A and B are shown apart, each in its own frame.
Chain A
Amino acid sequence: MVRLSRVSVIHLVLGVFAAALIGQAARVQLVQGGEWAEKARRQQFNRRSFTAPRGNIFDAAGNVLVQSREMFRISIAPNEVKNPTSLARELHQLGAADAWIKNSLDRRKKWITLPGSFVASDIAQLISLAGVHPDAVMNREYTSAPGVRRIVGALDPEGRPLGGIELALDSILRGDSSVSAVARDVRGRRLDSPESWSMIPRAGSNVTLTLNRDLQEICERALARAVDSLDASGGDIVVLNPNTGEVLAMASRRLGQKSVSITAVTEPFEPGSTLKPFIAAALLEKGRARVDEVVNTHNGQLVLNKRTITDLHKAPQMNLADVIRYSSNIGIVEFGSRLSPREKYETLRDIGLGMATGVPLPGESDGSLNEPARWSGQSAASVVMGYELAVTPLQLVSAYATLANGGELLQPHIIKEIRSTDGAVLYEAKRRVLRKVFSERVSNQVRELLRSVVDSGTAVKADLAAFEVAGKSGTARRTEKGRGYVAGNYTASFVGLFPAEKPQYVVLVKLDSPKRSYFGGEVAAPVTSVVLRAALAARNAALDRGELASVEQDVPLAPSESTAAAVMPGDTSATITGQAVLAPVAEPLAGPPKIFLLPYEKRRAIVDKALRPVPDVRGLPVRSAVRALHRAGFRVTLATTIGVPTLPVAGTLLAPGSIVKLQHIP
């Protein structure tokens, strides 16, 4: 038997030990390698999901309306806190409530997440403390314009959409979240490591709206002033491009409540007289009436089915043009009787009433338009006067667009374009004709009627000096719950086409329950004028100025003070606010503008100097006479004692810019 030496035994033991080590190492590496590696990964890496940045929202000119911004939520693990004094101080500086600070230091709690999110620069010191865990979240920065905010909506603190475009296009704006494995060191701090991996989050797509921010702000300001000065309960302004169906502005205001709904699409109202032009259009289209055809208007009072219908402008008879011009209820009822209930219903349905327009805004109302089978004995007369039906402001401007664009009902839209973050166009709005409602001939005829409403009818306060405006005012009684129509409670509205020739805007101004005056032509038409003048002076208000130049009228160059005084009473803002006009500022000119503000002397230099006759203004109202003289290129002063209509008398040849005295008997 071989007797091992002591050294050999030690060698043998060491050899066995080494073999065991190698065996165990091989087992750990080769057999259990995957399991240990996974365990190490779990310790060293955190699997986290990252929210993708939400897409931005722009206006039509590319101005940012809503943008995403990275902020941080703060979570605290009380057990990991090593410096409670510093932590409490930092939390206090951050504005955390005492209860949250106390909770954050309570070691019985495992995890505390502070409410709200914080800017990185504010939490720089805090997150360097042990036990504080920041978590990046995407917040939304909204423009401050309240009307725009109402349209684009908002997100709740959890990032869920609450309304507007944010809700309607959530799946497009949201993008795809990603999952990442983030390396952490022994203290739990995030560590960028080559072994970290992540799926790149796909940011949400960017949405461009058809809204024009300048025009939107003009509308919001005009509406706010009108509502405040008239003590109205609310109001809406909608501006639509009648040639494309693009919604350019949509302002809403309600007193006494912080409404977040877009009332221009959610709250229908009885349109009243603003509906009459469509009845006229239907009559003309079907050949049931001519513009100059006369009906009996019963001296302003008609009893029909035991109901008394009255006119403000009382006349024994009127033709169709005057029925629209003076908004005669009796006239439109008489003319409307030539259409069957079914024809009336189909006309109103064809212009889009009684069904949602389909703009992607939550809560859009269908409005209300009953089928003839559900009409009462009064309905046939009520409907043609704009009662017993309800329309949203957007439906009404969309319907008026048919009178502006040659008779086509267009799909109104508010989304202009959607692009992915890499710039690819995912959606592009196109002009979409829903149906041809009126022929071009009828559309032009009715627009002429609407022109007369502003020129010399119920809405002269919507008029502009340099451009003709067409439109129709409406004054409709309002109902109150359980009380029916209430005396003194009206919806005052005006729908304008600007300019009357080749319209670029359809503007609806609606004021709810104005207190001081309630006629649409008195209170809503002036607001339209304010909006249009501000839009003309704005740098970019979605106007084709080349087209405008082709329809611009001659404007008085420098009316004298007395002339200005004569014209000013019709000035809209003055009427609305009861004080001098505080018109918006003239904006600086940039880019390739076609408006120039020139000193008076220079403007005179470009005027034709040829002599021209003083026009004959005998029998004209003062306002019309002033306009006629201005059109002829003269300056006007008012005088009470000259004894003739004008001095120099009609026919006298004068240089343009000369002063003509106009007889004015107050």
Chain B
Amino acid sequence: MFVIVAAAVIARRSYGHSEGLELTQLQRRKAALESERVRLQQQIRDASSRSVIVPLAERRLGMHLPSESQMVMLKAAAHGTP
């Protein structure tokens, strides 16, 4: 009886141990992926910033700022105007 009970306890603890290890690994992986997400987000932000885009657009696409005469400021419609 003692042997049976002891074996059951050991088996339960062993199962718990392996589950715990797997849980730890998953959490570590989650943290790593989260860390990678932050890094990629930062890279995207930097790559889409004006300091990167503007020189590229000027050099490769020949784009330029609109002059003032190419801009129209539309006045906001008065309240209730259809």
Contacts and interface: CB of A to CB of B under 8 A. Distances in A.
Contacts of B31: 70, 120, 136
A149 to B, nearest CB: 11
B41 A595 contact: no
Given A143-B42, A213-B49, A586-B65, A121 B24 contact: no
Contacts of B27: 192
11 contacts: A70-B34, A124-B32, A143-B46, A192-B24, A466-B68, A533-B67, A550-B75, A582-B58, A583-B65, A586-B65, A596-B72
A510 to B, nearest CB: 21
A183 B20 CA distance: 10
B51 interface: yes
A331 interface: no
B8 interface: no
Contacts of A218: 50
Interface string B38-51: 11011001100111
Nearest to A196: B20
Contacts of B81: none
Contacts of A559: 69
A107 interface: no
A549 B74 contact: yes
Interface stretch (A61-69, A85-93, A164-172, A278-286): A61-69
A141 B39 contact: yes
Contacts of B67: 465, 533
Interface size class of B (residues with CB under 8 A): 35 or more
Contacts of A145: 49, 51
A546 interface: yes
A221 B72 contact: no
A193 B19 CA distance: 9
Contacts of A537: 65-66, 71
B73 interface: yes
A597 interface: yes
B68 A549 contact: no
Given A67-B38, A189-B24, A555-B69, 19 more contacts: A70-B34, A119-B36, A141-B42, A142-B42, A185-B17, A193-B20, A217-B49, A220-B51, A465-B69, A466-B69, A533-B65, A533-B68, A537-B66, A549-B73, A552-B73, A585-B54, A596-B71, A596-B74, A598-B72
B38 A595 contact: no
B75 A546 contact: yes
B11 interface: no
Interface residues of A, number: 62
Interface in A544-558: 545-546, 548-550, 552, 555-558
A436 interface: no
B76 interface: yes
A70 B51 CA distance: 27
Contact of B58 (A70, A143, A585): A585
A144 interface: yes
Given A141-B39, A213-B49, A191 B21 contact: yes
Contacts of A142: 42
A77 to B, nearest CB: 19
Contacts of A594: 73-74, 76
Contacts of B73: 466, 545, 548-549, 552, 594-595
A581 interface: yes
A221 B51 contact: yes
A217 B54 CA distance: 10
B69 A557 contact: yes
B38 A69 contact: yes
Interface string A114-155: 000001110010000000000010000111110000000000
Nearest to A551: B73
B57 interface: yes
A71 interface: yes
Contact of A121 (B32, B42, B71): B32
> Which 7 A-B pairs have CB atoms at the shortest separation, nearest pair first?
A120-B32, A583-B65, A585-B57, A549-B73, A466-B68, A217-B50, A69-B38
Nearest to A592: B76
Given A69-B35, A537-B71, A191 B51 contact: no
A594 B75 CA distance: 8
Contact of B45 (A143, A191, A584): A143
B7 interface: no
A70 B35 contact: yes
Contacts of A534: 65
Contacts of A124: 32
B42 A582 contact: no
B9 interface: no
A120 B28 contact: yes
A135 to B, nearest CB: 12
Contact of B54 (A67, A193, A464, A584): A584
